Structure 1
Amino acid sequence: MRILVLGGDGYLGWPTALHLSQCGHEVAVADNFVRRQYDLELGVDSLVPIASLHTRVTAWQERTGKTIEMFVGDLMDADFTYGMIRDFRPDAVVHFAEQRAAPYSMIDRKHAVYTQTNNVVGTLNLLYAIAEIDPEIHLVKLGTMGEYGTPNIDIEEGWLELEHKGRRDRVLYPKRPGSFYHLSKVHDSHNMEFACRIWGLRATDLNQGVVYGQETPETTLDDRLATRFDYDAVFGTVLNRFVIQAVLGHPLTVYGSGTQTRGIIDIRDTVRCIQLACENPADRGEFRVFNQMTESMSVSDIATTVSESFPGEVTIDNLDNPRVEKEEHYYKVTHTGLVELGLVPHLLSDTLITSLFDVAKRHVDRVREEALLPGVNWRNPGAERTSER
């Protein structure tokens, strides 16, 4: 297959492109490098140094003999988007090219507007390009489990069969997102479903849980192939942050009670899920949803797992929660679709977290300790961040 990976310079986009290439697909990546600009804005770099995209592509060819084509541009630029689709003529488009952090979207009005404009308009441009150039293209879009919120009923895979006043229907599962970022993903989902229903497009929406891990078999072939390791309170995932804090000898910072429960997934499973979705496309006119997670854990459970795995003393601190979210809630998620396609999950209990400790120790001199503490407050729109200043 010919597969175009948008956001191919990013944390998940880059290892996904390598994995698809290794599986024998013809792969191209596209990026506008804005994620690297966020680093400059926030003053926090990836813990693991990352090479330029040109260097990465060259290193991949040297190591494997496989080529990855590059497109440099922005989905907000409709002319670029249309030209890229015409030039590469993909069978599938994997869409990671969005601002991906809830805290970033909640900094102030400017960041909220940017997040929603960038994400929603970029995806709309892509939908129109596919519809007008080749409606057979399968769009595989990264969504988020955060679209659902924490409803007091089981979370189904995108759709809900309901009965109301004696009548039955199948509707998109109700969404109650917790940030302007998550809201942008909800808007994307509705736009994609509309495009499939009205234009007959084919799309798979992957509502992904919190990703952990930094290495895949492909990224370990050469240091130049490494992907990001974000640990800060804006872009860092909770497990990565806890790993850094353990290595530094700092308390693990749990927001609130720590009973908030979320879906999680190993980065190796993420790239496998993308492969399965591409190789088993949705039908024309179908808006297909998979909940891309492998298990559920509370924040406190994740902290306990890190503390028990670390070869040293670890303490846990509960901080005031900067987010507006339920801390005590029901959470049961259906996530069978990808397993039925062949996913064999890695579970956190089976994962060598020690490898993350090793990565952190090797690069501990790059840590900005103040960036570990939360500086974005959901309750106070427009307030200046404290941790990055």
Structure 2
Amino acid sequence: MHVLITGGAGFIGSHLVDLHLDRGDKVHVVDDLSTGSRDNLAAHLDRPDFRFSEADIVTWSGLQEAVGWADRVYHLAAVVGVFRVLERPISVMATNIAGCERLLRAVNDCGWRPQVLLASSSEVYGPRTDDYLREDMDLIIQPEAPPRWNYAISKLADEAFALSYARTKEIPVTVVRLFNTVGPRQTGRYGMVVPRFVRQAVDGEPLTVFGDGTQSRAFTDVRDTVVMLDQLAEQSTTDGVIVNVGSGHELSMNDLALRVIERTGSKSQVERIPYEVAYGQEYVDIPHRCPDLTRLHQLIEHRPRWTLDTTLDDLIARARHSEGAS
């Protein structure tokens, strides 16, 4: 199989690269390295079955050729991370929407129909307070939406493009609403909580919890996520389908911090930082966010093999190894 991965030098994309190369597929990655890293792909750069193009998906001249070569396309390229989303609200809208539409247009024009999997986000649900978030429920966008919601709006536009191309142009598409994915290669630089907590605990520094810490999320290991994405891509349909991808086990940020401290054996304390200090502006968080996985389990067989504790133990060991190596 020929696989094109946009944003493939990022955290999730690079694990998809590993999965497909291990299987014997040929992989082409395009990434502008704005949040991804060439280091994530270092093990593959000299392989004949792997190709890397450093380029912006919005302007890349090689898009049409790459799409025409591919049997499957994973579209992950986007401006991501809370810090970047807040700092660059215009770029979030322009890049995420234009990049997605340009990709789908290229698929439509390439002369045949590769499987397409498009990454959306749980952010599209907005400030709902339901215990579990279902794909068929109404979504909430607040009036006079603050910059945080630009990301959700951009992903909603991407979803609408994907479903429209599926239904009018017969492109086989699956849209996945990713919930909190964690694991190796994720960086805390752009606001991701788990790598930040692990690094702080290993270094004996205070674990910085933003807000009061009662907000909760459901975490899934990236090594399970990419298996689920692969299986869902096989289900791509010209009817278009939206699927939650994540875990049903929710944890507050306070409890997550304490669990990281416990598993590292660190003497670190928990330090709570107001949102306006952490983000430099007014910020409204979501009290909790957990996916309804009924549709996911109807479509694929895979169930997560990594628990949060085994993921944390792995990340802690990697952080200590990198500290010793340096």
TM-score range, shorter chain: 0.7 to 0.9
User: 1:376 maps to what in 2?
Assistant: none
TM-score normalized by the length of structure 1: 0.73
Structure 2 vs 1, CA of residues 317 and 52 (structure 1 numbering), >3 Å: closer, same or farther?
closer
Quick one: distance in 2 between partners of 1:313 and 1:11? 29
Residue 128 of structure 1 deviates from its aligned partner by: 0.7
After TM superposition, list the pairs within 5 Å mapping 1:1-389 onto structure 2: 1-35=1-35, 51=39, 53=41, 55-58=42-45, 61=47, 67-77=49-59, 79-86=61-68, 88=69, 90-107=70-87, 111-134=88-111, 136-153=113-130, 155-160=132-137, 173-176=138-141, 178-214=148-184, 228-232=185-189, 235-278=190-233, 280-284=234-238, 286-294=239-247, 295-322=249-276, 324-326=283-285, 328=287, 331-340=289-298, 341-364=300-323
Determine if contact 1:148/1:155 at 8 Å carries over to the other structure: no
Quick one: distance in 2 between partners of 1:103 and 1:193? 29
Residue 361 of structure 1 deviates from its aligned partner by: 2.4
Structure 2 vs 1, CA of residues 350 and 336 (structure 1 numbering), >3 Å: closer, same or farther?
farther
Structure 2 vs 1, CA of residues 291 and 126 (structure 1 numbering), >3 Å: closer, same or farther?
same
Unpaired segments of 5 or more residues in structure 2? 143-147, 277-281
Letter in 2 for 1:210: N
Determine if contact 1:102/1:179 at 8 Å carries over to the other structure: no
Letter in 2 for 1:176: I
Between Structure 1 and Structure 2, whose CA radius of gyration is higher? 1
Q: Percent identity?
A: 22
Residue 366 of structure 1 deviates from its aligned partner by: 10
Q: Secondary structure at the match of 1:152?
A: coil
Structure 2 vs 1, CA of residues 202 and 155 (structure 1 numbering), >3 Å: closer, same or farther?
farther
Structure 2 vs 1, CA of residues 365 and 117 (structure 1 numbering), >3 Å: closer, same or farther?
farther
Quick check: 179-188 or 139-148, which moved more? Answer: 179-188
Cα RMSD (Å):
2.6
Residue 157 of structure 1 deviates from its aligned partner by: 4.2
Determine if contact 1:259/1:327 at 8 Å carries over to the other structure: no
Structure 2 vs 1, CA of residues 350 and 337 (structure 1 numbering), >3 Å: closer, same or farther?
farther
Residue 127 of structure 1 deviates from its aligned partner by: 0.8
Letter in 1 for 2:57: L
Determine if contact 1:102/1:182 at 8 Å carries over to the other structure: no
Letter in 2 for 1:358: A
Residue 303 of structure 1 deviates from its aligned partner by: 1.1
Using CA pairs under 8 Å that are at least 6 residues apart, name the structure with larger relative contact order, 1 or 2.
1
Quick one: distance in 2 between partners of 1:180 and 1:71? 28
Q: Secondary structure at the match of 1:83?
A: helix
Residue 345 of structure 1 deviates from its aligned partner by: 0.6
Structure 2 vs 1, CA of residues 332 and 104 (structure 1 numbering), >3 Å: closer, same or farther?
closer
Deviation per residue, 1:91-133 (Å, 9 max, x gap)? 21001111112321212xxx21112111110111011111122
User: 1:164 maps to what in 2?
Assistant: none
Give the total of aligned pairs.
314
Quick one: distance in 2 between partners of 1:365 and 1:231? 19
Structure 2 vs 1, CA of residues 210 and 156 (structure 1 numbering), >3 Å: closer, same or farther?
closer
